[in-house]
Structure 1
């Protein structure tokens, strides 16, 4: 799952880049790898800090969020795949306008705010502790905010995880994922706001949504890919240092579909 920070249409930028090459004016504000185990009883959401200093194939070392500008969503996928040494089946990307529209199309989303704050941009929305029903604009401010927190991006990814769990809860509670017809109707509604890989068509998305009809959002596990603190890049950027041994452990658990054991071992 990729969130683009482009001030425009991410899909158009990707299409233009595919035709003419070059670098687009967008970075990945959100990168989350979602693993669905064989039993489909839960999901595992792994947030990848956007400032992780990694090797991007063909471009050298850079922040991982730059992979979107350099090569579009497929290069983000390739970079994450290389980092974790796992195969990634599909990608889904949206931009600011798409995220707002998608949230509103779902009737808004109720999130449980653990850290109350006031947004530092746009409408300066105030988020109170506990349940908050968010429309598209408020939801965008919720998942983008980092300056209101001493931990910055670390709290932002936790809020992004909270939002994804809340979307799961909403879809499973209102029955959208429990009936094939409803699943198809839902996917048809949100598809215009998403950029996806060529193999992820409407039928595939609907089938995946239906396959998750018995999943439990509360037992699903969300965490941040291990990091080794912060530092400075050779060109002076503030960066996040990857914890490569920790990342290798996550990758091994993904490859063997043993994330339950990994989560238990790490108290997740």
Structure 2
């Protein structure tokens, strides 16, 4: 029995069509198809209940699934099935309650409303499918396959109490061949709690000890650079490895630099470094712009720009990508070591403000910028565990320890002292209150007290 048979007017027909889009089976009830209406309503209620249960009870797991291309593709297919069923119900309902004697204008209005309702249902599905495609492309572009053997879901960190990531800020310029790693930071993360300590090494460390093997054979007394025009600083190790395959035998192009730098920095700090992530400074600015800027407290005015054309005034404000870039790299009226402290503040601010809603809203632009800006050796299979660990990190204060003068001498570093302080900084809290320390912490050493600062609040 159709709307024409029942004598539905234009207004009632429009209302029943909209009602059926919101609650399946409404039009079927109006046309006395009670059994079909009951089935449709039951299916919709079960779908809504299932979605709400998944979203509320498994929110953390959903973030982990978002970095797994297979799951994203499966989700897009499920949404496509739901959208197809939903549009079918809308069109079916319209066919049942089409207005009788409404004329051409009335029929056009109800048909147009039906098409609009179907579009409202299909649009989110198309968007989800697009996000799934972008996510899959990003994961395949950035993250390698699992090169280290199978990862056990119950223990992705292989029983390690801490996992160490090398974070590198790379800068290149047309007048300077190669890449200089001007920002070198190790993020040491407690795998159980997420408590994180950032350990910063200055770019101008001299005579850095090389790891055992061909690199140490070439530089038995520490890295001295590549010829008379090279000062032999820490920030040259990456490019030296890329230019000299023999010091990292068996490692392909574009992986030699990260491999040697991980081993070198790990040896300096006395830590096993599993993974690295390198970000291009200019690409970093694009990433900040993609998420709408980053809010940070500028402690004192910062002059920026090659020709001092800009000034970041003191105060708490939202920085654009370009401003954030200069906040993290400017040395005008300051030095490398002040800049290192600001870089830790910037890392902390980005980590705190990277909430899921912001990331989702800007996901496509962020993915495009990320593909140009970041390289890493984190395997795809580790991403779900990494997402869960990142959630823990966000809930804990991030502390930092920068090995800069006067704590060390960059021209004649005390390597034993650096390793001792690293071990002290990462040791479990002492005393009855065994919890993450949010205030600055002082440790002792043969060279006096050293303070670990809470990174920018």
Superposition TM-score, scaled by structure 2 size = 0.46
2:400 counterpart of 1:213? no
CA distance in 2, matches of 1:186, 1:258: 40
Confirm or deny: 8 A CA contact 1:120 1:148 kept in the other structure: no
- 1:37: which partner in 2? 190
Confirm or deny: 8 A CA contact 1:228 1:241 kept in the other structure: no
SS of alignment partner, residue 241 of structure 1: coil
Alpha-carbon deviations, 1:233-262, whole Å to 9, x = none? xxxxxx5432323312134347xx526569
- 2:354: which partner in 1? 171
- 1:204: which partner in 2? 382
Runs of 4+ with >6 A deviation: 184-187
CA distance in 1, matches of 2:326, 2:196: 25
CA distance in 2, matches of 1:43, 1:185: 29
1:143 Cα deviation after fit: 1.0
Where relative contact order (Cα < 8 A, 6+ residues apart) is larger, the structure is 1
2:180 counterpart of 1:27? yes
2:381 counterpart of 1:224? no
2:283 counterpart of 1:114? no
Alignment length, in residue pairs? 236
1:128 Cα deviation after fit: 1.5
Query: How large is the Cα RMSD of the aligned pairs?
Result: 3.2
2:420 counterpart of 1:249? yes
2:235 maps to which of 62, 65, 72: 65
1:219 Cα deviation after fit: 2.0
1:223 Cα deviation after fit: 2.1
2:435 counterpart of 1:258? no
With over 3 angstroms needed to count, the CA separation of the structure-2 counterparts of 1:227 and 1:34, relative to structure 1, is: same
1:188 Cα deviation after fit: 5.0
Confirm or deny: 8 A CA contact 1:119 1:148 kept in the other structure: no
Confirm or deny: 8 A CA contact 2:303 2:332 kept in the other structure: no
Confirm or deny: 8 A CA contact 1:4 1:96 kept in the other structure: yes
1:215 Cα deviation after fit: 3.1
2:277 counterpart of 1:92? yes
With over 3 angstroms needed to count, the CA separation of the structure-2 counterparts of 1:264 and 1:186, relative to structure 1, is: farther
With over 3 angstroms needed to count, the CA separation of the structure-2 counterparts of 1:259 and 1:244, relative to structure 1, is: farther
- Compare the two structures and name the one with the higher strand fraction: 1
Confirm or deny: 8 A CA contact 2:290 2:365 kept in the other structure: no
- 2:262: which partner in 1? 77
1:218 Cα deviation after fit: 6.9
Superposition TM-score, scaled by structure 1 size = 0.74
1:52 Cα deviation after fit: 0.9
- 2:170: which partner in 1? 4
CA distance in 1, matches of 2:291, 2:413: 35
1:194 Cα deviation after fit: 0.8
- Compare the two structures and name the one with the higher helix fraction: 2
Q: Which runs of 5+ in 2 are unaligned?
A: 1-166, 224-231, 242-256, 431-436, 444-449, 453-457
SS of alignment partner, residue 88 of structure 1: coil
1:90 Cα deviation after fit: 0.7
Q: Which runs of 5+ in 1 are unaligned?
A: 9-23, 232-238
- 2:374: which partner in 1? 194
1:161 maps to which of 323, 335, 344: 344
